[in-house]
Amino acid sequence: NAGVTQTPKFRVLKTGQSMTLLCAQDMNHEYMYWYRQDPGMGLRLIHYSVGEGTTAKGEVPDGYNVSRLKKQNFLLGLESAAPSQTSVYFCASRTSGSQETQYFGPGTRLLVL
Amino acid sequence: GENVEQHPSTLSVQEGDSAVIKCTYSDSASNYFPWYKQELGKRPQLIIDIRSNVGEKKDQRIAVTLNKTAKHFSLHITETQPEDSAVYFCAALASGGGADGLTFGKGTHLIIQP
């Protein structure tokens, strides 16, 4: 049982390049989330999904797209990376219903030059 | 949307003393309040949480209190130890109603002085 995993761990992009971050969970969780963490800002919600085939915007969705084609995977895409997207990205998941505890992945550190 | 304020941003205490971190929230619909501990370069780890139908919860040296009327909640760590040094985040969640996802405070860097 690996819990929540993220790939890659670290990536350097040039401005304008695209990439996809992958989050996978093996806990059969319904809900999945993408957050970004910047120094002094805490974690901010980018997008989330309450089930396979569904996605919704969070607090800071601009410049990102997501897809949830399979229940265990949640993909975060950057179509045209900008230096402002330099951050640490965390994925999280939880089961549905009254169990709100979110389990976080190890994070992806992204540097956009 | 929800707004969570967290204070102080840095807290330095002597080993063995108590530490208190305070948070306020704005959305009266919020009903779940977790606290996360994050060590440098690691993922946030849940240390304790409280739901809106409870006023206080304790787990060994850690306790959380919630005042729904005032919309604030606090983390209390007693008998602090060097391994308590980390960044602590409070968060709030208003589950249901179509929206989801935690709103985090900006974090408190807790330093335990030997």
**DSSP sequence for A50-103:** SSTT--EE-SS-TT-EEE-SSTTEEEEEESS--GGG-EEEEEEEE-STT----E
Calpha distance A83→A85 (Å, rounded): 5
**Residues of chain A contacting residue B103, judged by C-beta atoms under 8 Å apart:** 45, 59
Distance in Å, alpha carbon of B22 to nearest chain A alpha carbon: 15
CB distance A67 to A34 below 8 Å: no
For residue B27, the tally of other CB atoms under 10 A from its CB is 16
For chain B, the average pLDDT equals 93
For residue B59, the tally of other CB atoms under 10 A from its CB is 10
Check A101 against B95: CB less than 8 A apart: no
CB distance B7 to B106 below 8 Å: no
Query: A96-100, B50-54, B64-68 — which one is most confidently predicted on average?
Result: B64-68
Check A45 against B93: CB less than 8 A apart: no
User: Percent of chain A scored above 90 by pLDDT?
Assistant: 88
Q: What is the pLDDT of residue B96?
A: 61
Q: What is the pLDDT of residues B70-87, one digit of tens each?
A: 999 999 999 999 999 999
Return phi, psi of residue B81, to 5°.
Answer: -125, 160
Q: What is the pLDDT of residues B20-47, one digit of tens each?
A: 999 999 999 898 999 999 999 999 999 9
CB distance B66 to B50 below 8 Å: yes
Closest residue by Cα to residue A30 from A105, A90, A102, A107 = A102
